[in-house]
Amino acid sequence: MLSNNREAEQEDLGDIIAEEKSRGRKHPKKAVSLERSRRIEKACRMLEDAQCTEREFLAAIRAIVPDGSAEFLACAELWRKFRGGKS
């Protein structure tokens, strides 16, 4: 888990450096996709975290996809398969 955090920090640092190099130019699509990627990575780390509850995980998923969508329901099913039921 610690190595994943270091990798995430290194990736964030790389993103920041890339953003700094492109200062003065607008990249709205890139910023949105980076934020979405970070949210997805956060949800993945939460799935791996034994201390994370289903409620916390689903709240993180709601930040990525609409509640009740096919993707949301697939993530909820993934949680139940991975964790062996509701928590």
What type of residue is 36? R
Count: domains in the chain: 1
Domain encompassing residue 15 = 2-83
pLDDT digits (tens, 9 = 90+) for 27-65: 666 766 778 788 888 888 887 888 888 888 888 888 888
Report d(CA 40, CA 49) in Å as an integer. 14
C-alpha 49: how far from chain center: 13
Q: What is the pTM of this model?
A: 0.53
